[in-house]
Amino acid sequence: MSIESTKSDIPSSVKGAIDGDPWLTPFANELAHRRQLADDWLNRLDSNEGGIVEFANGYKNFGFHVLNDGTITYKEWAPNAIRANLIGDFNNWDLSSHELIKDNYGNFTINLEKNSIPNDSRVKILLTLETGEQLYRLPAWITRATPPTKEETLKGNLAYDARFWNPESKYQFKFKRPTVSKSLKIYEAHIGISTPDPKIGSYKEFTHNILPRIKDLGYNTIQLMAIMEHAYYASFGYQVTNFFAISSRYGTPEDLKELIDVAHSLDIVVLLDVVHSHASKNVTDGLNLFDGSDYQYFHANGKGDHLLWDSKLFNYGKYEVLRFLLSNLKFYLDVYQFDGFRFDGVTSMLYLHHGIGSGFSGDYNEYLNKNSPVDKEALTYLMLANDLLDQYGSQINHKFISIAEDVSGMPTLGIPRKDGGVGFDYRLAMALPDMWIKILKESKDEDWDLNKIVHTLTNRRYQEKAIGYCESHDQALVGDKTLAFWLMDAEMYTNMSVLSPLTPVIDRGIALHKLIRLLTHSLGGEGYLNFEGNEFGHPEWLDFPNVNNNDSYHYARRQFNLIDDELLRYKFLYQFDKSLQHLESQYHWLANPLDNYISLKNEQDKVLAFEKSKLLFVYNFHPQNSYTDYRIGIETPGKYKIVLNSDDSKYGGHNRIDNSQEIFTTNLEWNNRKNFLQLYLPNRVALVLALNED
């Protein structure tokens, strides 16, 4: 290990991080240096802008704004241009009128008369370069952009239009933001696919049809994907063209505000899947080459290109780029009332190699050595983003959530900024779905290694919270397979009816689907995530319309109608997931990660048992063997009751266990616990027991 510092000279700025993980001690000076880079920016913003929160109010100055007297202002940063004209439907696209004034910082501004631009009319900025070249661009801070009409598409115009959005009737939020739970149960959702019909779903349809299902299931958080405008639907929202515009294909800005407000009325917090890791390469309707230079928002030359994603990379060390990105975050918190963010592509941001062709062994030198390939400007931006959420949240007395999508496992990512970390509240436990898929692909049921499974589920950094999940949208995409598909794809189209005999494939699939989800939920993190439809074993993959499928929407949908059909077995998985979420809401095991004792991992019997949050979890993964009077150690004596039984018929089980039975402990040490109780454990069944205190 590279010795860069010792305990005797640990800087106070990172003492909190090192107290929690003494193995960070040799890297204390590098950690302190990284923190100082962000702290220097905070000091600079305090001096220049009145603080980071005020700096992030850039969206109130840039772009279009209607003042109290009805006059309109417009401001754009385009330092490489020498002239700018505002053009649009409002002035019949006159290229010579409405010239903007340029200041010494490269900002162009113009003031327009009252009501001079009609609502939802098209606008563009015409930039003139020193060479005389003229560029037609969509304003970078535009809040609405719409696709070309069919007629325009036929003429070869594929670029989006910028729209001036100022409706007479603006949505007024009615409900307060709910308190963020310490047990995050996240329902990851995509508006466009949230309908059984082969079409693009709308914000209003999601509000009326999907929000009640999410509430019924017991999830307390929604993570909305593909909200930031993206010209290519099949990019799943990860090729953003217009950062301040929400996707118009689902409806209007007012529709999204209503969705979030209704979610808040149901005590559901809403997170945005924010994409600041890269941007679309589109020029005519994106940020690329906006003012004619390749270095305005992005790094110049090859450094500004993400080769694997075919996209552009932001220059996080640039003052106005930081203003743009931090303002983008605050814009969504303010204007749309989002409650936080899941930051996409954090691994790509953290490293100069963007994670391409690089594995991570876990050696601290890979992340923390001063010569490691960490992009310190990007790291600084992520720290500042978390500073913004903390400071603004303190101002309005609301806890904003930040989640990092990082596969590298960088230490200190989830440690608070005040202790010397990056400041994320959670990281995604991305090793878990990989583990489950590897097991289902490569191992026979009788060969499942409980020790390895438990180790992977619990192997996360101390004091850095993780969101556990067994599958997300990644596994639902065409080319991959969901757990339900790995388990049952051979018969999902033929044998999911209750009118047909229960086959071994479907029986096994339903049983293991429940056990995998319960085990991941109870051991895999301090939060839990599910991608919509996976809770009931959605029978098809996800494939957006593209040239390879003849622009079909057949697979770009979620068939919620399947769980409403009493003759189909999907309802069993839905009901189990519902019971699981509501049970956690009662006992809060996600919020008590340290209250956990694993007493049994019997590889021969395939039985696993552990105590958590005053509950006893017992799993029998054996494909054939059922056990009578199976002895399980437990610390607290008393009378126990079954509070969740995966073998219950309402979950598609075989009703082999009497849920009403009272189970008493015996005062005799077993498996290092002071007491034991005895259970009937059918094969492929999980039980959750609670102390009966009646």
pLDDT in tens, 317-344: 999 999 999 999 999 999 999 999 999 9
191 touches 558 (CB < 8 A) = no
**Average pLDDT score over residue span 97-109:** 97
Residues 589 and 619 in one domain: no
* Domain contains 413: no
Q: Which residues, in sequence order, are CB contacts of 650 under 8 Å at separation 6+?
A: 572, 575
Angle, helices 504-523 vs 570-587, to 10°: value is 20
- Asked if residue 300 belongs to a domain, the reply is no
Under 8 Å between Cβ of 517 and 528: no
Task: State how far the Cα of 255 lies from the Cα of 409, in Å rounded to an integer.
Answer: 38
For position 95, which CATH number holds? Answer: 2.60.40.10
Mean per-residue pLDDT, 430-444: 94
The domain boundary, picked from 138, 164, 190, lies at 164
For residue 203, with 0-12 CB atoms within 10 Å meaning exposed, 13-18 middle and 19 or more buried, which class applies? Answer: buried
Residue pointed to by tokens 């919020």: 591
Residue 360's pLDDT is: 87
- Tens digits of residue pLDDT in 141-164: 999 999 998 888 778 788 999 999
pLDDT value at 9 more than 70:
yes
Residue numbers of the domain that contains 480: 182-273+429-594
Q: What is the tens place of the pLDDT at every residue in 192-204?
A: 999 999 999 999 9
- What number is the average pLDDT over the span 377-398? 98
For residues 581 and 621, state if they share a domain: no
Tokens of 512: 């293991």
Of 137, 164, 191, which residue constitutes the final position of a domain? 164
My answer on whether 101 and 196 are in the same domain is: no
How many CB atoms sit inside 10 A of residue 527's CB? 28
C-alpha span between 421 and 14 (Å, rounded): 8
Give the full edge-to-edge strand order of the sheet including 639-645.
Answer: 596-602, 607-612, 615-620, 685-691, 639-645, 663-664
Report if residue 393 sits inside a domain.
no
Residue 38 lies in a domain: no
**Final residue of a structural domain among 164, 193, 216:** 164
From CA 518, how far away is CA 477, in angstroms rounded?
A: 23
> Residue 681 domain-assigned?
yes
* pLDDT-derived band at 361, boundaries 50, 70, 90: confident
Where does 376-444 have alpha helices with state H?
376-396, 431-442
- In this structure, the answer to whether residues 545 and 683 fall within a common structural domain is no
Q: Which tops the pLDDT comparison, 624 or 149?
A: 624
For 63-80, write each residue's pLDDT tens digit: 999 999 999 999 999 999
Q: Supply the mean pLDDT for the chain.
A: 95
Same domain for 216 and 136: no
* Per-residue burial over 421-432, b = 16 or more CB atoms within 10 Å of its CB, e = otherwise: bbbbbbbbbbbb
d(CA 240, CA 232): 9
The answer to whether position 400 is within a domain reads: no
Q: What is the mean pLDDT of residues 636-654?
A: 97
Tokens of 179: 């308190």
Cα–Cα nearest to 426, from 418, 415, 411, 434: 415
Residue whose tokens read 């560029």:
135
pLDDT of 7 reads 57
Structure tokens at 161: 């239009």
For 177, the token pair is 């933001």
pLDDT above 90 covers a percentage of the chain that reads: 92
Q: Report pLDDT for 2.
A: 44
| 565 and 433 within one domain | yes
In this structure, of 8-17, 601-610, 670-679, the range with the lowest mean pLDDT score is 8-17
Domain of residue 626, CATH code? 2.60.40.1180
Interhelix angle 376-396/28-49, nearest 10 degrees: 60
Average pLDDT value for residue range 418-433? 97
Q: Annotated active-site positions, please?
A: 344, 405
Residue 33 has pLDDT above 90, yes or no: yes
Q: Confidence class of residue 6 from pLDDT cuts 50, 70 and 90?
A: low
What is the number of domains present in the chain? Answer: 3
Same domain, 441 and 536: yes
**Residue 422 within a domain:** no
Instruction: Based on the fold, state whether residues 133 and 263 are members of the same structural domain.
Output: no
> Is residue 91 located within the same domain as residue 196?
no
Same domain as 109, residue 80: yes
Q: Please check whether residues 519 and 632 belong to one and the same domain.
A: no
Say if residue 679 is in the same domain as residue 645. Answer: yes
Q: What is the pLDDT of residue 155?
A: 80
Cα of first residue to Cα of last residue in the chain, in angstroms, is 56
Query: Does the pLDDT at position 3 exceed 70?
Result: no
Which region among 255-259, 425-429, 451-455, 473-477 has the lowest average model confidence (pLDDT)?
473-477
Look at residue 74 and tell me if it is in a domain: yes
CATH number, position 238:
3.20.20.80
Does the structure show a pLDDT above 90 at 540? no
Helix (H) or strand (E) run with residue 360 in it? none
User: Residue range 488-506: average pLDDT?
Assistant: 94
DSSP state of 208: I
